[in-house]
């Protein structure tokens, strides 16, 4: 049963008559094979473009029915008041001025329970105090539990102790600013400068925008005397940028201790920030599949191919780093062997890059659901591609081959491997005795960390044998395996998997009442106008009326990795438009004030709609 406030789901189009199906399939196959080999986009007569099915039906926008006075006061009033918006933007700027950079080396330095901590974390305590001073109602009405020194767990207790709670997540930390780039910033990176149009500085988009947006929404609801029926929980970690093992992991443990295993109704965290599509398209050929990937890359709101899509992450690729280490006898460089240590390591790396993972587009891959939404709702998509996606079961292999031509879409269908670091040798006239390389993998949804480890063994074993290398692997469970031993060899090849290896995330549902509530709220807010100022009645909405919600696969990982045991309804979404933000993880990070206000409005309405969900 869907949300009681939502109208019936917009029906999918009635399937057209199959018509000349064999001819259609043959034409599509021919075209796709041609494209996979030669590129370009064909034109087909309309009779060849009949499709079998259509998908990606859209839930209608969900508008809260209870306490319509709050809609008038906040959603249509306060959030459009120029003075209040300026004050809210200033508060976001204040949060940016508190330096909460986190660094990789802190991952293995958990904070002490009490006493002096490292200087790098001093901003976290300052941030908590700022929240307490800035949002008095939140800290009066909600209970706050400080977890593992700096993580913040707020509970807004509802009167209904049976229904499952809503959990809203974000993180306090930000990625470091390179000192070599400081002079490239329009405004200093921690100035929190507000120029009347945007808020500038590190964290303004990733992701103090969402954290402050959540707290602003709760403060506004409390000011309107809103009392939740269902419990709302705010979970703010402090080391997401270094995998969340001291923040979100401890928050998850605290929630489990409250009896919330498989007992959270909905959990929403940040999405995946990427460069604007316009930048990517300019960097690639016009006919590149980058146009497809732009629409589907990361959660947020993007307008492409004549339509606007709000993208909700329903899964994440897995992650693991692997280190290849090679030890060989040393000696003087004047009498080198046919292949030095570094030369053999180079051969091993070359062999890996010559054997990439094979792309597959399985029915369970969220990327397929994204493609289907594209085929259903993108006005300007080429008809042949629309037909190919709709008939993907009949043309799957050539469609995959075509999509795999571009690395952007390829890695939505397969595991990526990237050799990112190498070291070896200490002196020019000394043969290297040790060298190593580090390889980053983003694991496809249909594969596992064990598949990656098996691929490495199969690929590297022939090289190990040809060079008489003793070959050992240490897998992600810290188990050692011997694959080749040569009695006369003193050369050793060791392949070790990072202990924090992460399997692909469970795939959250993209149908049902929880999805309809979330997606309906997304459409309600995303289709509204957050640029125009001034109070106006609900029935005079003048925003965009055709924002389509699509599920997507995220290549990056978030703190949600630690929350899998709480619920199957984990979603990643940023209520911001890609052309109104900039500078994620680089210089000149900033967000338009209108997008920050839209973020507040989204969390405000999601909290309200969650109270009215019928389950």
| Backbone φ, ψ for residue 316 (5° rounding) | -135, 145
Contact present, 453 and 472 (Cβ < 8 Å)? no
How far is it, in rounded angstroms, from Cα 415 to Cα 411?
Answer: 6
Three-state SS string over 170-190 comes to EECCECCCCHHHHHHCCCCCC
| Backbone φ, ψ for residue 142 (5° rounding) | -105, 150
Is 241 annotated as belonging to a binding site? yes
SS3 497: strand
CA angle (500 as vertex; 498, 505 as ends), nearest 5: 120
CB atoms within 10 A of CB 460: 24
Task: Give the CA diameter of the chain.
Answer: 86
Is 206 annotated as belonging to a binding site? yes
Tell me the Ramachandran region of residue 149: left when phi exceeds 0, alpha when psi lies from -120 to 50, beta otherwise: left
Residue found under tokens 């001034």: 534
Listed residue (108, 52, 44, 35) closest to 391, CA to CA: 52
Q: Which helix (H) or strand (E) holds 515?
A: helix 513-526
Task: Write out the two tokens for 332.
Answer: 């003087």
Does 240 participate in catalysis according to the annotation?
Answer: yes
SS3 130: helix
- Parallel, antiparallel, or unpaired for β 266-269 and 570-572? parallel
Contact present, 373 and 523 (Cβ < 8 Å)? no
Three-state SS string over 57-85 comes to CCCCCCCCCCCHHHHHHHHCCHHHCHHHH
CB atoms within 10 A of CB 285: 10
Is 488 annotated as belonging to a binding site? no
Question: Exposure pattern of 555-588 as b/e (b: 16+ CB <10 Å)?
Answer: bbbbbbbbbeebbebbbbbbbbbbebbbbbeebe
- Which of 101, 216, 219, 240 is flagged as catalytic? 240
Q: Where are the beta strands (DSSP E) in 108-256?
A: 143-147, 151-156, 166-171, 198-200, 232-237
Residue found under tokens 């044998």: 465
Alpha helix ranges (H) inside 224-296: 248-257, 277-282, 290-296
| Backbone φ, ψ for residue 172 (5° rounding) | -80, -35
| Backbone φ, ψ for residue 249 (5° rounding) | -60, -45
DSSP 119: G
DSSP 199: E
- Which of 173, 219, 270, 559 is flagged as catalytic? 173
Residue found under tokens 């879409």: 409
DSSP 106: G
The DSSP line for 536-588 is --GGG--S-S-EEEEEEEESS--GGGG-TTT-S-EEE---SBGGGEE-TTSTT
Active site residues: 173, 240
Residues annotated within a binding site? 171, 206, 241, 269, 585
Residues annotated within a binding site for Zn(2+)? 171, 206, 241, 269, 585
């Amino acid at each position: 049963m869907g949300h009681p406030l939502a109208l019936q789901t917009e029906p999918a189009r009635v399937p057209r008559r199959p018509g000349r199906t064999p001819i259609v399939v043959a034409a599509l196959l021919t075209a796709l094979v041609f494209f996979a080999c030669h590129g370009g986009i064909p034109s087909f007569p309309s009779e060849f473009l009949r499709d079998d099915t259509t998908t990606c039906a859209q839930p209608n926008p969900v508008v809260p029915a209870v306490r319509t006075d709050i809609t008038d006061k906040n959603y249509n009033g306060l959030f459009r008041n120029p003075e209040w918006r300026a004050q809210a933007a200033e508060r976001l700027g204040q949060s940016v001025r508190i330096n909460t950079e986190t660094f990789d080396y802190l991952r293995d330095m958990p904070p002490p329970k009490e006493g002096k901590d490292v200087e790098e974390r001093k901003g976290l305590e300052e941030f908590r105090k700022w929240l307490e001073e800035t949002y008095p109602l939140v800290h009066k009405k909600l209970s706050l539990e400080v977890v593992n020194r700096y993580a913040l767990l707020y509970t807004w207790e509802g009167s209904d102790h049976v229904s499952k709670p809503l959990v809203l997540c974000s993180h306090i930390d930000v990625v470091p600013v390179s000192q070599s780039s400081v002079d490239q910033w329009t405004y200093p990176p921690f100035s929190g400068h507000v120029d009347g149009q945007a808020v500038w500085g590190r964290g303004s988009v990733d992701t103090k925008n969402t954290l402050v947006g959540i707290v602003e929404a709760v403060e506004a609801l409390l000011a309107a005397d809103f009392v939740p029926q269902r419990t709302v929980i705010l979970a703010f970690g402090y080391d997401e940028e270094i995998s969340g093992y001291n923040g979100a992991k401890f928050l998850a443990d605290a929630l489990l201790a409250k009896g919330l295993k498989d007992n959270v109704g909905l959990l929403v965290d940040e999405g995946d920030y990427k460069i604007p599509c316009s930048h990517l398209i300019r960097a690639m050929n016009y006919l590149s599949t980058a146009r497809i990937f732009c629409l589907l890359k990361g959660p947020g709101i993007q307008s492409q191919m004549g339509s606007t899509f709000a993208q909700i992450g329903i899964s994440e690729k897995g992650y693991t780093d692997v280190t290849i280490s090679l030890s060989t006898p040393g000696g003087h460089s004047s009498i080198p062997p046919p292949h030095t240590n570094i030369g053999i390591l180079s051969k091993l790396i070359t062999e890996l890059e010559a054997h990439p993972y094979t792309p597959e587009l399985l029915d369970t891959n969220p990327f397929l659901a994204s493609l289907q939404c594209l085929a259903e709702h993108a006005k300007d998509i080429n008809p042949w591609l629309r037909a190919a996606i709709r008939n993907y079961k009949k043309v799957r292999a050539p469609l995959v081959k075509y999509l795999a031509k571009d690395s952007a879409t390829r890695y939505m269908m397969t595991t990526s491997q990237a050799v990112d670091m190498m070291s070896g040798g200490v002196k020019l006239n000394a043969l290297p005795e040790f060298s190593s390389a580090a390889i980053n993998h983003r694991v496809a949804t249909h594969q596992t960390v064990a598949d990656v480890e098996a691929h490495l063994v199969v690929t590297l074993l022939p090289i190990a044998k040809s060079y008489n290398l003793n070959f050992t692997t240490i897998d992600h469970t810290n188990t050692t395996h011997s694959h080749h031993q040569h009695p006369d060899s003193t050369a050793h090849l060791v392949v070790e998997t990072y202990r924090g290896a992460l399997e692909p995330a469970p795939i959250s549902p993209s149908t049902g009442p929880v999805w309809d509530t979330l997606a309906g709220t997304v459409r309600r807010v995303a289709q509204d106008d957050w640029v125009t100022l001034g109070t106006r009645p609900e029935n005079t909405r003048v925003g965009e009326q055709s924002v389509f919600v699509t599920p997507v696969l995220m290549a990056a990982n978030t703190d949600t990795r630690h929350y899998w045991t709480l619920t199957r309804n984990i979603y990643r979404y940023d209520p911001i438009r890609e052309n109104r933000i900039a500078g994620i993880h680089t210089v000149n990070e900033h967000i338009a004030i209108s997008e920050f206000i839209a973020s507040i409005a989204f969390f405000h309405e999601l909290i309200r709609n969650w109270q009215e969900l019928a389950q």
